[in-house]
């Protein structure tokens, strides 16, 4: 730890140059090695800041004036960008965002993974990076007795009424505003978080971009929903492609959106969507990637890295509803998928059937326990694909990969820091990180998704 005096005090006003961006999109300036984090400032900018917080190793500043502007700065098109917090990079041009995401991966591989020389390709971005989300989850409340639905103001639980979100598919915006109007018409009460009263907590809209199918989920505090029949009829009337209207009941005082009980109010339990040639049934609570166009790009890359010729045994760990597993099953002899959520495995099995695959097996459990068990049964994989949550892979799972010795490991990651940590373990276990391809799944946000190929 460097031993220097903290060069600033709270409320000081200083001019600084921004050198970098943090993983959450804040500008970084250095004063004699002391790091200052400055929200919304961009690399290359000279800014006058007020110091708002001082800690031993780093501090925070707020921009008072931008003295020199970055050529990458753009006006955020969303009118509520500064209040919402859902996007973090709307003030940065899309091209620069893609470069930022590539650099994030590079930097973290070097710093955490001690992998300075790995080939990190330029981020694969979208031609049109707006309106990409296929799922909207919108909180509902009341302000002065009127029902509102929109978003939580950044760092609070105050709901701001809103009718459109620029990263949301137009269909979902339409569904949410329409359901909001219908709820108002029939006097449905919005949920009051503090008093734990009222009825409607969230409206969730899901859209199958390839099929046009729409699902509406009404999340209510209790089982009762007054005027249910009229509400259902109006939704059918006003939303032409609705295939499924579902109620989910969440009686708890919690920030978690969904409750345990779900039942169909009208139509099917599922909507359908396709990725490439494969069809997926999606239920109200299934995990399904939210950017369908880029999901195809991501999975195609994973498939390319898997280099399947038809004879391979493949393991897909953290398989969700079996999306990647079925993609792989098109070119492999056999695919084993493992996932911790039982409902997801039920969906995965249904999806395998729906598409006529008989070369896949799915298991429920923790990948770090199921994989060693498979290994003990004599199962060996030629290719292992992992797509873990943000915290990355469990050590036991990495050890099993190293013991099983597949020719290739394809690592799909939503968190470069844990990716870098895990790559180091695999490198020490005999693998070489061949290349990394960042894919922009979440334009205008700081989320960085990537696919990595490792070879034995």
Of the candidates 220, 250, 286, 289, which one interacts with ligand SAH according to CB under 6 A? 289
Residues 6+ apart with CB under 8 A from 399: 429
Q: Does 363 bind ligand SAH (CB under 6 A)?
A: no
Of the candidates 120, 319, 383, 420, which one interacts with ligand SAH according to CB under 6 A? 319
Of the candidates 90, 97, 178, 323, which one interacts with ligand SAH according to CB under 6 A? 323
Instruction: Tell me, rounded to whole angstroms, the distance of Cα 375 from its chain centroid.
Output: 31
Q: Does 389 bind ligand SAH (CB under 6 A)?
A: yes
Phi, psi angle pair for 300, to nearest 5°? -60, -40
Q: Does 140 bind ligand SAH (CB under 6 A)?
A: no
Of the candidates 45, 234, 387, 449, which one interacts with ligand SAH according to CB under 6 A? 387
Rounded to whole angstroms, the Cα distance separating 329 from 357 reads: 7
Q: Does 430 bind ligand SAH (CB under 6 A)?
A: no
414 is annotated as an active-site residue? yes
Which region, judged by CB under 6 A, interacts with ligand SAH, from 82-90, 159-167, 255-263, 340-348? 340-348
Q: Does 81 bind ligand SAH (CB under 6 A)?
A: no
| β-bridge mates for residue 35, sequence order | 30, 58
Q: Does 49 bind ligand SAH (CB under 6 A)?
A: no
Q: Does 366 bind ligand SAH (CB under 6 A)?
A: yes
Pairing of strands 334-339, 313-317: parallel
Residues 6+ apart with CB under 8 A from 416: 23, 104, 105, 108, 109, 448, 450
> Do 258 and 219 form a contact (C-beta atoms < 8 A)?
yes
> Do 194 and 221 form a contact (C-beta atoms < 8 A)?
no
Q: Does 315 bind ligand SAH (CB under 6 A)?
A: no
CA geometry: angle 428, 304, 431, nearest 5 deg: 10
Q: Does 324 bind ligand SAH (CB under 6 A)?
A: yes
Q: Does 291 bind ligand SAH (CB under 6 A)?
A: no
Interior/surface letters 88-102, b for 16+ CB within 10 angstroms, e for the rest:
bbbbbebebbbbbbb
Number of residue whose CB is nearest ligand SAH = 320
User: Shortest gap between Cβ of 58 and ligand SAH (angstroms)?
Assistant: 32
Which region, judged by CB under 6 A, interacts with ligand SAH, from 186-194, 226-234, 312-320, 421-429? 312-320
- In 122-258, DSSP assigns E strands to 135-143, 146-152, 159-161, 200-207, 214-220, 242-249
In 3-state terms, what secondary structure has residue 389? Answer: coil
> Do 147 and 180 form a contact (C-beta atoms < 8 A)?
yes
Distances (CA, A) of 442 to 26, 134, 412: 17, 12, 15
User: Shortest gap between Cβ of 341 and ligand SAH (angstroms)?
Assistant: 4
User: Shortest gap between Cβ of 232 and ligand SAH (angstroms)?
Assistant: 30
Nearer to ligand SAH among residue 98 and residue 290 (C-beta)? 290
Q: Does 258 bind ligand SAH (CB under 6 A)?
A: no
User: Shortest gap between Cβ of 327 and ligand SAH (angstroms)?
Assistant: 9
Residues 6+ apart with CB under 8 A from 381: 312, 313, 314, 315, 336, 404, 406
User: Shortest gap between Cβ of 367 and ligand SAH (angstroms)?
Assistant: 4
Q: What is the DSSP string of 82-94?
A: HHH-S-S-TTB-H
Q: Does 344 bind ligand SAH (CB under 6 A)?
A: yes
Which region, judged by CB under 6 A, interacts with ligand SAH, from 91-99, 120-128, 147-155, 365-373? 365-373
Catalytic one of 84, 319, 393, 414: 414
Does residue 393 come out as left (phi exceeding 0), alpha (psi in the -120 to 50 range) or beta? beta
User: Shortest gap between Cβ of 383 and ligand SAH (angstroms)?
Assistant: 15
Rounded to whole angstroms, the Cα distance separating 448 from 72 reads: 19
> Do 256 and 233 form a contact (C-beta atoms < 8 A)?
no
Which region, judged by CB under 6 A, interacts with ligand SAH, from 170-178, 211-219, 334-342, 374-382? 334-342
Q: Does 402 bind ligand SAH (CB under 6 A)?
A: no
| β-bridge mates for residue 362, sequence order | 337
The footprint of ligand SAH on residues 221-240 (CB under 6 A) is none
Q: Does 411 bind ligand SAH (CB under 6 A)?
A: no
Q: Does 320 bind ligand SAH (CB under 6 A)?
A: yes
User: Shortest gap between Cβ of 405 and ligand SAH (angstroms)?
Assistant: 21
# residues near ligand SAH by CB under 6 A: 17
Q: Does 341 bind ligand SAH (CB under 6 A)?
A: yes
Task: List the strands of the sheet with 146-152, edge to edge.
Answer: 159-161, 146-152, 135-143, 200-207, 214-220, 242-249, 261-267
Of the candidates 47, 246, 281, 367, which one interacts with ligand SAH according to CB under 6 A? 367
**190: DSSP letter:** B
Of the candidates 37, 130, 186, 287, which one interacts with ligand SAH according to CB under 6 A? 287
CB atoms within 10 A of CB 4: 11
Q: Does 318 bind ligand SAH (CB under 6 A)?
A: yes
Active-site positions?
A: 414
> Which residues sit at the interface with ligand SAH, rule CB under 6 A?
287, 289, 318-320, 323-324, 338-341, 344, 366-368, 387, 389
């Amino acid at each position: 730890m460097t031993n220097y005096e903290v060069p600033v005090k709270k409320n000081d006003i200083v001019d600084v140059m921004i050198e970098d961006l943090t993983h959450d999109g804040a500008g970084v300036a250095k004063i004699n090695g002391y790091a200052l984090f400055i929200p919304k400032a961009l690399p290359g900018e000279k800014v006058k800041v007020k110091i708002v917080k001082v800690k031993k190793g780093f501090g925070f500043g707020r921009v008072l004036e931008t003295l020199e502007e970055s050529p990458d700065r753009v006006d955020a098109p969303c009118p509520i960008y500064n209040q919402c917090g859902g996007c973090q990079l709307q003030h940065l041009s899309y091209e620069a965002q893609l470069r930022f995401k590539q650099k994030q991966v590079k930097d973290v591989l070097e710093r955490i993974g001690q992998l300075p020389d790995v080939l990190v390709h330029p981020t694969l971005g979208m031609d049109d990076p707006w309106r990409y989300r296929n799922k909207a989850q919108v909180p509902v409340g009341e302000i002065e007795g009127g029902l509102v639905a929109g978003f939580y103001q950044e760092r609070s639980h105050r709901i701001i009424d809103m009718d459109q979100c620029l990263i949301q598919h137009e269909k979902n915006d339409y569904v949410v505003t329409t359901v909001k109007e219908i709820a108002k018409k029939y006097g449905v009460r919005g949920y009051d978080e503090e008093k734990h009263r009222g009825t409607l907590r969230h409206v969730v809209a899901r859209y199958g971009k390839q099929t046009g199918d729409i699902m509406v989920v009404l999340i209510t505090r209790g089982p009762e929903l007054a005027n249910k029949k009229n509400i259902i009829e109006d939704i059918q009337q006003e939303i032409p492609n609705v295939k499924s209207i579902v109620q989910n009941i969440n009686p708890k005082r919690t920030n978690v959106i969904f409750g345990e009980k779900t039942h169909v109010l009208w139509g099917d339990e599922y909507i359908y969507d396709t990725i490439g040639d494969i069809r997926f049934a999606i239920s109200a609570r299934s995990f399904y990637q939210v950017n369908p166009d880029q999901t195809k790009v991501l999975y195609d890359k994973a498939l390319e890295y898997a280099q399947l010729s038809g004879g391979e045994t493949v393991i897909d760990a953290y398989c969700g509803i079996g999306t990647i597993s079925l993609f792989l099953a098109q070119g492999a002899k056999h695919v084993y998928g493992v996932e911790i959520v039982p409902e997801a495995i039920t969906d995965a099995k249904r999806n395998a059937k729906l598409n006529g695959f008989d070369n896949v097996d799915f298991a429920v459990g923790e990948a770090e326990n199921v994989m060693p068990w498979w290994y003990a049964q004599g199962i060996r994989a030629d290719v292992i694909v992992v797509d873990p949550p943000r915290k990355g892979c469990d050590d036991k799972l990495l050890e099993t990969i190293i013991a099983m010795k597949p020719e290739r490991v394809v690592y799909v990651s939503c968190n470069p820091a844990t990716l870098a940590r895990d790559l180091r373990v695999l490198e020490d276990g005999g693998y070489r990180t061949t290349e990394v391809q960042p894919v922009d799944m979440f334009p205008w946000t700081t989320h960085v998704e990537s696919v990595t190929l490792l070879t034995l």
